[in-house]
Chain A
Amino acid sequence: MKFKWWHGVLILALLLAILSPLASLSPDGLERVAEDKGFLSSALEPLYEVMPDYVVPGVTNEAAATILAGIVGTLILFGIGYGLAKLLRAKGEA
């Protein structure tokens, strides 16, 4: 298979997922405001959990669990984005 431009972008996205353990753990803008203004505690727990906080459950190494979650999510989104666009593609396009 010939290497196409979008293969490069997908590899770049997977590399970013591998860097995900380096992300800042500080609260984000909304969490910071919720904490400062006293409504953080009104957040409800999720109804169910699959991979909460971008961590694959059962993997003891935290960095590995985050990287795995990142790779899984990146591939899922590639599949959904590609598949959806394919359903919407113009007539006569392969």
Chain B
Amino acid sequence: MHIPDGFISTPMAAAGIVLAAGSVAYAVKATNKKMGEKQVPMMGVLAAFIFAAQMLNFPVAGGTSGHFVGAALAAIILGPWSAVLIMSCVLIVQCLIFQDGGLLALGANILNMGVIAVFVSYFIYKGIFGVMRGSRTGRLVAAGISGWISVLVSALACAAELAISGTVPWQVAVPAMGIVHMFIGVGEGLITVAVVALIMATRADLLELQQAA
């Protein structure tokens, strides 16, 4: 879902850069001097894992593919502000080195996949996990739904940016982006559940890193 340059207008791209830069600056402030002993390697391996997993596009219906984003997974494991930093690192490297996502559109891409997706999925996860009283099943259900929603909200934010830019009308952008990403989001939900289940089975303590911080 990386927006290339040309899809969004210059004012929209500029607004994206301002909002993304502000979010990243606040994320640095919020996490500064708070990274625990286990969080340091976790930030490294999670950024590496999310980058590698994003390369593996999986086919969805109708000759379309989707790929894992990882915003929900990062938010679940490390909390929202660390997740904003991880996702921003991944998106910046993808943009600067692999030319995936435009240079001007980088702000919008960070906003969609690194800020909006992180916070929406984090609160959905916390909400469902809380309602299900912190049970094992509750954690997995919460992970799956927050993964699915993370992709959907990123896509809707992207649709809004396309519409604001005048690239494509609202009534076209929103349903088109929403419907295809409702399918892609299922893959995100399944991968998020699988990774959380794997951590629960092997090192459940790693899911409590943010509480310890």
Contacts and interface: CB of A to CB of B under 8 A. Distances in A.
Interface of A: 4-6, 9-10, 12-14, 16-17, 19-20, 22-30, 32-34, 36-37, 39, 42-44, 46-47, 49-54, 66, 69-70, 73-86, 88-91, 93-94
B131 interface: no
Most B CB contacts (10 A, CB to CB) among A17, A25, A79, A84 go to A84
Interface in B82-119: 82, 85-86, 89-90, 93-94, 96-100, 102-103
B59 A39 contact: no
Contacts of B42: 6, 85
B35 A75 contact: no
B155 A20 contact: no
Contacts of A54: 55, 98, 100
Q: Interface residues of B toward A: which range?
A: 35 or more
Interface stretch (B61-69, B120-128, B142-150): B61-69
B48 interface: yes
A44 B149 CA distance: 30
10 contacts: A6-B44, A20-B56, A24-B57, A24-B65, A27-B65, A28-B184, A30-B2, A30-B3, A80-B47, A85-B40
A3 to B, nearest CB: 13
B182 to A, nearest CB: 10
Given A33-B177, A39-B7, A28 B98 contact: no
B97 A76 contact: yes
B33 A82 contact: no
Contacts of B60: 29
Nearest to B67: A28
A10 B5 contact: no
Most B CB contacts (10 A, CB to CB) among A4, A53, A77, A93 go to A77
Given A19-B56, A93-B36, A51 B203 contact: no
Nearest to B41: A6
Contact of A24 (B41, B50, B59, B167): B59
A22 B94 CA distance: 19
A17 to B, nearest CB: 4
Given A26-B64, A43-B5, 4 more contacts: A5-B203, A43-B4, A77-B93, A81-B44
Contacts of A86: 35, 40
Contacts of B5: 43-44, 46
A26 B57 contact: yes
Nearest to B205: A5
Given A77-B89, A81-B43, A82-B41, A13 B49 contact: yes
B130 interface: no
Interface in B123-171: 155, 158, 162, 167-168
